[in-house]
Amino acid sequence: MSKQSKKGRAEFSSSFGVIAAAAGSAVGLGNIWKFPYITGVYGGAAFLFVYLGFILAIGLPVMLSEFIIGRKSHRNAFGAFKKLAPKSLWQYIGILGVGAAFMILAFYGVVAGWSVDYVVTALSNGFADQSPDQLAVMFTSFIESPVQPVLYQLLFMVLTGAIVMLGIKDGIERNVKVMMPVLVVIIIILNIRAVTLPGAGEGLRFLFHPDFSKLTGEGVLSALGHAFFSLSLGMGTLITYGSYIDKKNNLLNTAVKVTIADTLIAILAGVAIFPAVFAFGIEPSSGPGLVFITLPNVFQQMPGGYIFAILFFLLLTVAALTSSISILEVVVAYFHEELKLKRKIATIFATALVALLGVICSLSMGIFKDYTFYDLNFFDLLDWISANLLLPLGGLFISLFIGWKFGRKKIRAEIENGGSISELMLSGFIFLVKFIAPIAIAIVFLSGIGLLKI
Ligand code: PHE
């Protein structure tokens, strides 16, 4: 799926390859594990609506900005700014991104490890005849144990490292092309089962009928953070992937397709989960275990549930893998191009460091759970800092860079590439990245961390 450009740098070979890679990065645990559980924590539909607003007004323009920066510079997240704005402070955006990549991948690998464990449990028919309470206890005692989740996390990180080491995506996109559609089909089947459960209506109301009085400042900040997290924005993932996109690609079109795919899958995951949450009497705000506790209940209640359970957790693992490689790639491309390490060495080094941080994350669920900071254990802390602080900050600077520094002519050239874009569209995009995105991010950010009262 990849080819060498004339300058010797790897490139995606087709526009489908680009979309598969970028959508593979965007669609992952963020959609299926995190989106339902934080929607549950922050009260349902009102959170969803705010999230959708952020996706449109901020996510999409920032995604296009990242693609532009990556393709124009042909560099990693740090090198891109160094090349486009030499000797300026802008390059530190890239450093912020590399830091965020470490933090995200550390806890991401832990959750992906849970998913691997659930494949194994599903294979041995371990969900059968368990009550909702028993399934909840099973999940909690598993993630708190000191050995098994750590081993699965390490296994997942080794897989991630191995794929990244193989270079720019040869095997992976070929797989993603098949796996992603299968995942979507399974989620749709789960949707049908979920909405026909007795009491499903309450779940759908929770997800789609907003009660804005439930919305808190913290909820709005989390919606913004999650918009970045889910679209893989704010830390240079799509700058790095953009650097492998060829000149002919229509970046706006790619950004729109990736955004739509990501958003649809999150909503489908919500529709699969919330009716079941209410039907089985699970607390919607029960946190990171929501998917792992709710769906096994559903699998038990459907014909062929044994097979669906295996397939679902297998595909969830694959979806996590196509995201985790994109996160690791940010670090590896940086180590390789800026610190001049061989790609192989860079990959081993980065994978080992992240895996180590991941072990601490995993243990913070159990034996280290009393070590907290503002009531957050290490796992939650990394999640909170990266999604709610680093990604929005990264997004703020990226939109400022395109809006104020890059220049209208160059923006036009990158978006048009041979075709044409109307003045109105171009001005609309520039207005969004120049004013709307930075101001909105700044307000949400400052009020979310308590520095601004509105
Ligand atoms: N977007 C991925 C998901 O939703 C996670 C991710 C975050 C990937 C940041 C890359 C960068 O699972």
* Residue whose CA is at the smallest distance from ligand 1 atom 11: 232
Backbone angles phi, psi at 141, to 5 degrees: -70, -30
Radius of gyration of the chain (CA): 21
Q: Which atom of ligand 1 is nearest to the CA of 35?
A: 4
Query: Structural domains in the chain?
Result: 3-448 (1.10.4160)
Candidate of 33, 107, 230 to mutate for ligand 1, largest count of ligand atoms within 8 Å of Cβ: 230
- Give the DSSP letter string of 72-86: HHTS-HHHHHHHHST
Candidate of 327, 331, 390 to mutate for ligand 1, largest count of ligand atoms within 8 Å of Cβ: 327
CA distance 428 to 424: 6
Pocket of ligand 1, beta carbon within 6 A: 25-26, 28-31, 104, 229-230, 232, 235, 237, 323, 326-327
Q: How far is the CA of 324 from the centre of ligand 1 (A)?
A: 7
* Residue whose CA is at the smallest distance from ligand 1 atom 8: 232
Q: Which atom of ligand 1 is nearest to the CA of 320?
A: 12
Q: How far is the CA of 313 from the centre of ligand 1 (A)?
A: 18
Q: At what angle do helices 290-300 and 251-279 cross, to 10 degrees?
A: 70
Reading the chain (454 residues) residue by residue, the pLDDT tens digits are: 445 544 557 777 788 888 888 999 999 999 999 999 999 999 999 999 999 999 999 999 999 999 999 999 999 999 999 999 999 999 899 999 999 999 999 999 999 999 999 999 999 999 998 999 999 999 999 999 999 999 999 999 999 999 888 876 565 666 666 777 888 888 898 899 889 988 899 999 999 999 999 898 889 999 999 999 999 999 999 999 999 898 889 999 999 999 999 999 999 999 999 999 999 888 899 889 999 999 999 888 878 889 989 988 998 998 999 899 999 999 999 999 999 999 899 999 999 999 999 999 999 999 989 898 888 999 999 999 999 899 999 999 999 999 999 989 999 999 987 667 788 989 999 999 999 999 999 998 888 777 777 6
Candidate of 32, 325, 326 to mutate for ligand 1, largest count of ligand atoms within 8 Å of Cβ: 326
Query: Is residue 2 helix, strand or coil?
Result: strand
CA distance 62 to 57: 9
